[in-house]
Every structure is written in structure tokens, then in C-alpha cells.
């Protein structure tokens, strides 16, 4: 149990840090175009309990107002990775272009593209990666907290993370739901535990 408690503590700490950073941006005058809900789920390993319960309980509001669900699970040092709804492919590529790797000073997008070229299995695959304007994002399956939002509620979803240079699952951060209603200054943190 101690291992999972440690991972949970890191995840909840990441949610609090993200909330603090958003608060600092708000104090500096930034205002998001959409309401952002930060979430930390419990019960993922025994069956996605917290996220599923919350997604089912808030189905009507989510169907009416949610724009996207962004999941981040098992992060570490390395390359940007994303999979998800193809309607969010351009968005995820644009964001990755704006995030700089602190060591290499390359964008997360450029670093991932170079890694994909270097690990491509054929010359044709390398050529396709070089010629394509954006990185492809594979479709989501199931097995993480995005499952209920995507498959039950029909909300476009992403699963993002970094990895490939550290042990898998070294940090487990949070998830975010972007709501399509006008921005609300009331902070919201959803938690679901069983």
C-alpha cells in the first residue's frame, strides 16, 4: 500500500502545484477562455472508480459544456507523448511546440519528432514523419481515467505525458477538464475517492 500512497501523494501534490500556478497567472491578469477543473482521482488501479463515478454523476453538465478532457498519467523524463481524439491533434501539436525542454531548449514537439525519426522502423516511415506538418496522435483505448469521459460521456480526450529516459511511472500528475462555459473565477477542484 505504501507504494501507491506515495504515488497518490505525488499526484495530489502536482494538482495543488498546477492550481497554485494557475492562481499566479490569474493574479498577473491572465484569464483562460474556458473554465478549468483540476481533478485527482482515486481508485484507478482497482477499476477507474473515482473518475468513472464522477463522469457518470456529472454526465449532463459534461455533455452540455465540456470541451476536452486531458489526462496525464505516469510521467518521467523524456519525450513528449500524446494519444487521443483526432479532433485534438492540431491542438496537441501546437501546445507541444510552445513547451521547451529545459535541458535541450528544443520544443517538446521538435524533440519528439527527432526521436520518432531516429526510432522509425523504415525509410518510408522516416520520410512520412519528416514530410508531415504535425505529429500523428494514436487513438485512445481504455484503461486510464480518460475512459469514462471519452467512452461514456463522448468528450474529446487526450492522454499526455513524458517518458523514455526514466523509469516508467516515476511521477503521476493530474487530469484536467476544460469546460466550454465562460471562465468562472471560482476555483474548482474535483476529487473522487472510494
Catalytic residues: 44
Q: Give dist(CA 26, CA 32) in Å, integer.
A: 9
Helices (H), the chain: 2-27, 49-57, 59-65, 89-98, 108-119, 123-131, 147
Surface-to-core class of residue 115, CB atoms within 10 Å of its CB (0-12 exposed, 13-18 middle, 19+ buried): middle
Given a contact cutoff of 8 angstroms between Cβ atoms, the answer to whether 150 and 48 are in contact is no
Residue among 35, 42, 38 at smallest CA distance from 15: 38
- Alpha carbons within 13 angstroms on the beta-carbon side of residue 44 total 23
Amino acid at each position: 500500500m505504501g507504494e501507491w500512497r506515495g504515488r497518490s501523494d505525488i499526484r495530489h501534490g502536482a494538482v495543488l502545484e498546477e492550481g497554485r500556478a494557475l492562481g499566479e497567472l490569474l493574479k498577473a491578469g491572465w484569464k483562460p477562455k474556458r473554465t478549468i477543473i483540476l481533478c485527482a482521482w482515486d481508485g484507478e488501479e482497482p477499476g477507474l472508480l473515482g473518475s468513472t463515478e464522477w463522469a457518470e454523476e456529472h454526465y449532463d453538465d459534461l455533455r452540455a459544456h465540456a470541451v476536452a478532457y486531458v489526462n496525464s498519467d505516469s510521467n518521467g523524463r523524456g519525450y513528449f507523448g500524446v494519444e487521443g481524439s483526432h479532433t485534438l491533434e492540431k491542438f496537441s501539436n501546437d501546445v507541444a511546440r510552445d513547451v521547451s525542454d529545459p535541458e535541450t531548449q528544443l520544443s517538446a514537439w521538435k524533440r519528439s519528432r527527432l526521436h520518432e525519426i531516429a526510432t522509425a522502423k523504415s525509410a518510408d516511415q522516416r520520410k512520412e514523419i519528416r514530410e508531415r506538418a504535425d505529429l500523428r496522435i494514436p487513438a485512445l483505448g481504455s484503461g486510464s481515467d480518460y475512459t469514462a469521459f471519452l467512452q461514456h460521456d463522448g468528450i474529446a480526450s487526450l492522454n499526455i505525458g513524458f517518458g523514455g529516459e526514466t523509469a516508467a511511472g516515476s511521477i503521476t500528475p493530474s487530469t484536467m477538464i476544460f469546460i466550454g462555459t465562460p471562465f468562472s473565477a471560482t476555483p474548482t477542484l474535483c476529487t473522487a475517492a472510494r
